[in-house]
Chain A
Amino acid sequence: MSAQPVMLPQGWEARWDGQSQAYYYVDQSSGQSQWELPTAPSYGSPDAQTPVTAPPASAAPTAASPAAAPRAGRRHYPTAQIQQQLYGGYDQAQQPGLQAPMQAGFPDQQGGQQQQQQPGGGGPVQYFTPAGMDGSLQQPGIQPPAGYAGQQGGVGPGPGAQFSQGQQPVDAMSNQFQQMNMGYKGPAQAGGAAAGGYEQKQLHPIHTVNLIGMQPDVGALDSPPPPYLIPPNAAVTQSPHVQPDPSYQRSTLATMPMTQSLLNKSKLPLALVMAPYRSFRESDGDMPVPVVEDSVIARCRRCRAYINPFVTFIEGGNRWKCCMCGLSNEVPQLFDWDQAAGKPADRWARKELNHSVVEFIAPTEYMVRPPQPPIYAFIIDVSQTAVQSGMVATAARTILENLDNLPNADKRTKIAIIAVSTSLHFFSLPPGSAEASMLVVPDLTDVFLPKPVDLLVNLNESRPAIESLLNRLSDMFQDSHIVGNALGSALQAAHQLIGKYGGKIIALTASLPTVGEGALKARDDPKLLGTSKESSLLNAASSFYKTFAIECSKQQVAVDMFLFSASYTDVATLSCLPRYTAGQTYLYPGFNASRSEDAIKFATEFGRVLSQPIGLEAVIRVRATRGIRMSAFHGNFFIRSTDLLALPVVPLDQNYVIELQLEDDLKSSTVVIQTAILHTTCYGERRIRVITQSMSTTDSIAELYASADQIAITSYLANKAVEKSMTSSLDDARSLVTNRLSEMLTVYKNQVTSSAGASAQLAVPDNLKLLPLLACGLVKHVGLREGASIPPDLRAYAQDLLTTLPTQSLVPYIHPRFYSLHNMPPEAGTIGEHGVILPPPMNLTSERLERHGLFLIEDGQNMFLWVGHEAVPRLVQDVFDLPAYADLTGGKFTLPQLDNPFSQRVNAIVAKTRELRRGVYRPHLYVVKSDAEPALRSWALSLLIEDRMDHMSSYAQYLTTVKNKVNGSS
């Protein structure tokens, strides 16, 4: 969300009064001050811009110093009314004729005003613009603040720089307008319905809705989180990008409580949900992360915070005051100097002052050793099961095809390949030679490398040998009848091989490791399932994988696990390695490459993993305004010290959740939270990605509730529940989710809506209206669901995904999308303005399933095409190219591309769904017949979370349970 500029009439300035925690407004021409938001301009000239509304009767300005007047906290942000005025005046404001005289008429005033303003003109947006500005740019909101002109004399080439600021592409402007509209929609809607008495000091409007008996509005799952409203002067520039996109970082609360006791009282969680190394997709309109090219990195001397849009410049711009600890720091000498052009540069155009997400190029002080090249060590299981399933052949082919896609910009990338069964097979790949030779090491207890060189080779130099090996790999082991897998020993060998440099080990295994180090037993006793002992199956069986993970993390080695077994593979234990080394686990249960769907899914996902532009040797640290402490961390990494997360390799699109605590009461009106991730890019450059976010503080519970972000809270609850299921039991994990939800709603009911006693209603704030649905989806999710029928492997894998998926993919994973295809609107499936148009999502209840219909259910990992048993032959013919419903078989399916419009639309929707979200996953498509294959059918039905399922309650029942808890405890 962009900062909201305050739309004040000309000549007025908003000032913050720390004592009464409110803004007051100063008329700069007369020096008068008042508490009320000025609606009429103070100067007497005929004003063409703002339609003059009658000044409110109470607006008689109080000449007494507002600072002395004790007054209840009252903040003024632009209301719908002001918005209207501004937009009403906007047409006229665009006419240069009206602008020019105005500006000319008040040169003195403008000049005087500039002196009073903060450097950088964080002040209110003025309606006039510098002469010579292009008329079309004169839109409120992006106008460079008038304060610029005066300040720039000292720091840069005044008007020229303003142009660079002003001349943003037109679409950027319209974007900004959309954002502004979004920000304003809330107040406008809620104006009438807001809970009485709260609008006055409320940044976010609060709007209570009742959930009992209502169908949840699933379309609202995509709506943006409550905006981060900050006072207008908080940022030094007026850039719309001073707050990060929620996909980088979002907070469960968009305003920060001032004290820990307030937070405890509100029962709301306070946590950051972030995916700092998010992928960048141009098709989604993503902006690449701006890079600060010169290596001038201004950091606070005391708290080491990076300079950001929320600092203030003091002493004429020679020093800057840290927004976190308040220390005054010197501005680096080269800060205002354009090194490339060799001339003074405009400070206000610097990227770190205009963007919340920036990358700095780090000088050598930030390096422990020179940037390492990307290194990949493949461990391929070549036991009988692996070869027979076709995994070896598919993997070898995929690696071969992706040799060019591996990050290898500077031709330094190295790879090694180890094949493992009951012995280790190393491959010597000498540069220049076209042949690879195999070296077998049968000793598994004391792993050694058979050869000091040529095992880990440069991809470019040894390309012919690598290619010939990959071509022959599957054939080499074709006749192997060895059963057994020494994965642990192979991991140790790979670690010895690449430990010196760090890098990534990619282990592909199709059977449980049974020999050598880290051997595991099939411990999936079906009697344990559904009991309180089940959580022991979710914990690691052997400490080898944890200790080895620590070794790897120390040496900057990450491990990715690709697991293929048809039987139990102990995902819970093996996934420890990726968890603590910042890798990822991928599970392909019952993989068989002879089924083209399996082969395509694996090859696609593996290929995407290989071609990811990974970051190496990374550490993440979160800094925040004094008083805020990071108390717990969830995600795939190793916690190296109290607040330092070590990631040997940063994969794209991985989610981290960081819980916050307040150690001291917060005094200031805004707080700043900054995440810095120091990493080496795969192109050999050390970089720091910095994400800065600013939030207002509040002392009102109502405000906390109004600014709560249901998606971030869901992500937090998912992480807490998974943690609980490991330390305690799945039962406790489920009740944790339900209890946290009902605690929140109890506080809301008692403190915010102030209705005491039992009620037939379940009151929730509008912005949390989907939280009960998501919580219901979470307790019924495979990772946490009650029941004795879920294999522990699937559970452990689902839990991995719950803790690592970024919010964009996590929401559909918990609350799948459900479309009706047979009666979709005519435009659905055709190409619209933003790509393929999807049908409207439906509520997840089987009431919507019709006997003659065709439906699509997808959760980002799997897609189910549900065919009703009375489907007309025409539909079956059009979509599946089969004569009748009876000829259709359920299961994994590749949709044929047929020459009829309906088939094309369905194919377009399926294709769009597959590439909708960030991440490497390519969902399988299953055809589900409504009267056959009971297992598949009940799997698909289990995704319809609003329904009753076995003994899991339906959404309506879940709401009643929550309501009873809320009523019971009040």
Chain B
Amino acid sequence: MGGEGWLFLFAVLMAAVLLFTMVFFIIMFSDLECDYINPIDLCNKLNQFVLPEMIAHAFLTLCFLLSGQWLAFLLNAPLVGYNVNKIMSKNHMYDATEIFRTLSGHKKESFIKLGFYLVSFFYYLYRMILALISESD
């Protein structure tokens, strides 16, 4: 198994992890809506995962860039840009005082990210298989 195969295997695993993170976020938001959790606990819990998620995604994108996987890189670059912009304007953390006002926005964002990770998961899987087949030829 060559470099490309390993890279996409790693990417598949990362995408799966990010996928689960998003599912976790969405479940937590629904819990908040149903009063199973209070906003302070929710924000404390979720804020632990915000930066790791962004860093993991940025790291994956960096791997694509370094290994010259242009298409995969371009696919991920907009999200990295969006995340960086959020950190620069300092509103990447969930704010317990505003959470109810912004909840629908947060949920929408999480759903879009979930969809994105799902699509990229299958794309990485496809590329991994492609790489393995081309190797075995």
Contacts and interface: CB of A to CB of B under 8 A. Distances in A.
Nearest to A580: B97
A546 B35 contact: no
Given A546-B95, A550-B96, A641-B35, A632 B40 contact: no
A723 B99 CA distance: 14
Interface in B33-66: 33-35, 38-40
Contacts of A550: 40, 96-97
A546 B97 contact: yes
Contacts of B35: 641-642
A532 B61 CA distance: 34
A267 interface: no
Given A632-B101, A633-B100, A639 B39 contact: yes
A742 B12 CA distance: 53
B40 A641 contact: no
A877 B64 CA distance: 86
A725 to B, nearest CB: 14
Nearest to B34: A642
A641 B97 contact: no
Interface in B70-129: 95-97, 99-101
A642 B33 contact: yes
A667 interface: no
A633 B35 CA distance: 16
Given A550-B40, A554-B40, A642 B97 contact: no
Nearest to A640: B38
A684 B97 CA distance: 29
Contacts of A554: 40
A549 interface: yes
Nearest to B37: A641
Nearest to B96: A550
Contacts of A641: 32, 35, 38-39
B71 to A, nearest CB: 36
Interface string A610-641: 00000000000000000000001100001111
A781 B74 CA distance: 48
A576 B97 CA distance: 10
Contacts of B39: 639-641
Contacts of B100: 632-633, 639, 642
Nearest to A547: B96
A562 to B, nearest CB: 22
Interface string A90-103: 00000000000000
Contacts of A642: 32-35, 100
Interface in B3-54: 32-35, 38-40
A642 to B, nearest CB: 6
Contacts of B40: 550, 554
Contacts of B97: 546, 549-550, 576, 580, 638-639
A723 B97 CA distance: 13
Nearest to A554: B40
A909 B111 CA distance: 61
Contacts of A638: 97
A632 B32 CA distance: 15
Contacts of B34: 642
Q: Which of B33, B38, B99 has the most CB of A within 10 A?
A: B38
Q: Which of A638, A641, A723 has the most CB of B within 10 A?
A: A641
A397 B112 CA distance: 59
Contacts of A632: 100-101
B46 to A, nearest CB: 15
Nearest to B90: A543
Interface string A543-560: 000100110001000000
Q: Which of B32, B95, B97, B101 has the most CB of A within 10 A?
A: B97
A639 B32 CA distance: 12
Nearest to A644: B35
A523 to B, nearest CB: 14
Nearest to A726: B98
Contacts of B101: 632, 723
A800 to B, nearest CB: 15
A737 B15 CA distance: 45
Contacts of B32: 641-642
A549 B95 CA distance: 12
Closest 6 CB pairs of A and B: A641-B35, A639-B100, A580-B97, A550-B96, A546-B97, A550-B40
Interface of B: 32-35, 38-40, 95-97, 99-101
Given A633-B100, A638-B97, A639-B97, 6 more contacts: A546-B95, A550-B96, A580-B97, A632-B101, A641-B32, A642-B32
18 contacts: A546-B95, A546-B97, A549-B97, A550-B40, A576-B97, A632-B101, A633-B100, A639-B39, A639-B99, A639-B100, A640-B39, A641-B32, A641-B35, A641-B38, A641-B39, A642-B34, A642-B35, A642-B100
